[in-house]
Amino acid sequence: MNNSWKKIIRESSARENILHLTSICPNSCIFCSHKYNPPGVEVFAPGHIPLDLIRELIEYFNPAETVRIGESVTRVIEGEPLAHPDFFRALYYFRKRHPQTPLEIVTSGTLIDPGTMGQLADYHPLRLKLSLNILDPSLRNKYLGSGEQNMEELMEGLAQKAVPFGVTLVALPHLTGWKALDDTIRGAAARGPRDITVFRPAITRLAPSQIGLKGEQSEKLEKELARLRRELETPILLEPTYLQDLRPQVAGVRQDSPAARGGLQSNDVLLQIGENQPASRIEAHQLLQKKGGTIPVLVEREKTQKQLYLEKKAQDNSGAIFYRDLPSTLIQDIKKACGGEKTALITSTAAYPLLREAFAGSNIAVWPIKNELMGGTINSAGLLGVTDIIRQKDKRPRPGMLEKLILPGVMFDQQGRDLWGRKISELEEVLGIECLAYPV
């Protein structure tokens, strides 16, 4: 293995505030994406990152933004952070350099014991993103290969030690049974998580087909989660959620937060925050985060407008949760980059409805591309390849008239290569037009 991975993790530390610790994971989840990568995909598994390199990476972070550990956003495989033999030394060096910077650690929790909980509590501000997936010990052992750890006791211990945590799970009701999914969500909600995020299984064409959700199973999942949202107070999110518009609608409200105390509810649409009118979910989140004091918030709830007031400090989290969409500034920047030329904007099929609305009435035609190289249930712009676009070039809008093509920047690394090593210049040769990567 070459040393390209070092360049990648240095760049992601500086650009994404990601701290890479290890690619080693003691678990063996049935849905693990790294097991089923198609041929030609370039990924790196460097094992445990040396402590001296970790100390170097710590210098690259933006201290004003949350630093995430264990988040998989590059072609370097992310493992279980606590598997690193110098995990707490890494936290010590991080906190010494950035005493007030929030940390978010993605972990399965399988290596957390009572002693570990106490140590984690010493590194506030810190929160965990607990990859719970399944609560039943025997099912966890069968589908996650994680032993039969008592996860109820783990979550109770985290709450007692005042270590904030959210819960994530990949929905496998077609394998574990719908009752197991219900039990997992209810069991987690009863033990104090900030929120619960449910993921539809994302698998490539090489994964066993039974792991993915069929159409009717996915629809049933949406209905089951809607029912649980009505019955439980903990915010429950579903990813991917397939947004259709840019309305600044609240997805959930954390308990005992400024948003909850101010009366904000799930599905409220924020019409005005102070003197500002948010144009999207991201802008609503940013405005609520930025403002402090008594914040007047005008909302639309069930076709009726209501005036609410939130009390919070500037830059403190409001507790209102939004699905991620697009800021209006990015939309305007992309329009400017087109310079009046007839342009097509590449997107995944999942994001197509949202982007079609965002660029309606402009000279930009949105071009949805299927993830054919990855296949399976993959539906992500970040996992598209140049070959996907070339294979589907006959479906491009305005054939023979296009002057420019804009691609999602997440398709490419800093050298302009996709996951298969192909470059934007190859696409320009095939299509005969200018191609630009933009951070969509």
Q: Would you place residue 2 in the very low, low, confident or very high pLDDT band (cuts 50, 70, 90)? A: low
Structure confidence at residue 401 (pLDDT): 82
Q: Would you place residue 440 in the very low, low, confident or very high pLDDT band (cuts 50, 70, 90)? A: low
Q: Would you place residue 298 in the very low, low, confident or very high pLDDT band (cuts 50, 70, 90)? A: very high
**For the packed helices 178-189 and 151-160, what is the interaxial angle rounded to 10 degrees?**
20
> Higher pLDDT residue, 398 or 206?
206
Residues 147, 112 contacting (CB under 8 angstroms) = no
Residues 49, 93 contacting (CB under 8 angstroms) = no
Structure confidence at residue 308 (pLDDT): 98
Q: Would you place residue 224 in the very low, low, confident or very high pLDDT band (cuts 50, 70, 90)? A: very high
* Cβ neighbours of residue 399 closer than 8 Å, sequence gap 6 or more: none
Highest average pLDDT, of 147-151, 244-248, 338-342, 397-401, comes from: 244-248
Q: Would you place residue 340 in the very low, low, confident or very high pLDDT band (cuts 50, 70, 90)? A: confident
> Higher pLDDT residue, 135 or 400?
135
Structure confidence at residue 77 (pLDDT): 92
Q: Residue 339 above 60 pLDDT? A: yes
**Residue range 320-347: average pLDDT?**
91
Alpha helices in 302-406 (DSSP H): 328-338, 352-358, 386-391
Across all residues in the chain, what is the average pLDDT? 94
Q: What are phi and psi of 261, to 5 degrees?
A: -65, -30
What end-to-end distance do the CA atoms of the chain give, in Å? 31
CA–CA gap between residue 126 and residue 104 (Å, rounded): 6
Share of the chain above pLDDT 70, in %: 99
Structure confidence at residue 73 (pLDDT): 80
Q: What are phi and psi of 316, to 5 degrees?
A: -75, 150
Q: Residue 193 above 60 pLDDT? A: yes
Structure confidence at residue 360 (pLDDT): 92
Helix (H), strand (E) at residue 170: strand 165-170
The model's pLDDT over 370-413, given as tens digits with 9 standing for 90+, comes to: 999 999 999 999 999 999 999 999 998 877 788 999 999 999 98
**Residue range 172-197: average pLDDT?**
97
Structure confidence at residue 90 (pLDDT): 98
Query: Which domains does the chain possess?
Result: 4-239 (3.20.20.70), 252-321 (2.30.42.10), 328-438 (3.40.50)
Structure confidence at residue 315 (pLDDT): 87
The model's pLDDT over 41-80, given as tens digits with 9 standing for 90+, comes to: 999 999 999 999 999 999 999 999 999 999 988 889 999 9
Q: Residue 138 above 90 pLDDT? A: yes
CA–CA gap between residue 36 and residue 31 (Å, rounded): 9
Q: Taking the mean position of all CA atoms in its chain, how far away is CA 307?
A: 31
Single-letter amino acid, residue 303: K
**Residue range 313-339: average pLDDT?**
91
CA distances from residue 241 to 131, 176, 198, 249, 291 in whole angstroms, order as listed: 19, 22, 10, 13, 28
Q: Residue 190 above 90 pLDDT? A: yes
The DSSP-derived string for 205-250 is TTS-GGGSPPHHHHHHHHHHHHHHHHH-SS-EEEES----S---B-
